[in-house]
Amino acid sequence: MGVIKPVFTATASAPIASGGGVTTNLNPDTTRYFATLTAPMLGATDTTIPAASFVDDSDTAITTLPTLTANDYYNVYINGVLQQQSLSTLSTGSLVLNATTPDLSAGTPIQLEVVSFANVTSTLSTPPDISAPIITITS
Amino acid identity of 115? Answer: V
- pLDDT, one tens digit per residue, over 16-59 is 888 888 888 888 999 999 999 999 999 988 999 999 999 999 99
Residue 40 lies in a domain: yes
The CA angle 89-95-96, to the nearest 5 degrees, is 60
Residue 25 lies in a domain: no
Residue 86 lies in a domain: yes
Residues 9-21 have a mean pLDDT of: 88
DSSP, res 41: G
Residue 49 lies in a domain: yes
Residue 129 lies in a domain: no
Angstrom distance (rounded) from CA 49 to CA 123: 41
Residue 66 lies in a domain: yes
Residue 107: left if φ>0, alpha if ψ -120 to 50, beta else—which one? Answer: left
Contacts of 120 (CB under 8 A, 6+ apart): 24, 25, 26, 27, 71
Question: 116-136: b or e for each residue (b if 16 or more CB lie within 10 Å)?
Answer: beeeeeeeeeeeeeeeeeeee
Residue 54 lies in a domain: yes
Residue 94 lies in a domain: yes
What's the whole-model pTM score? 0.71
Residue-number span of the structural domain to which 51 is assigned: 30-117
Residues 6-16 have a mean pLDDT of: 86
Domains identified in the chain, total number: 1
DSSP, res 77: E
- pLDDT, one tens digit per residue, over 107-136 is 999 999 999 988 888 888 888 889 888 888
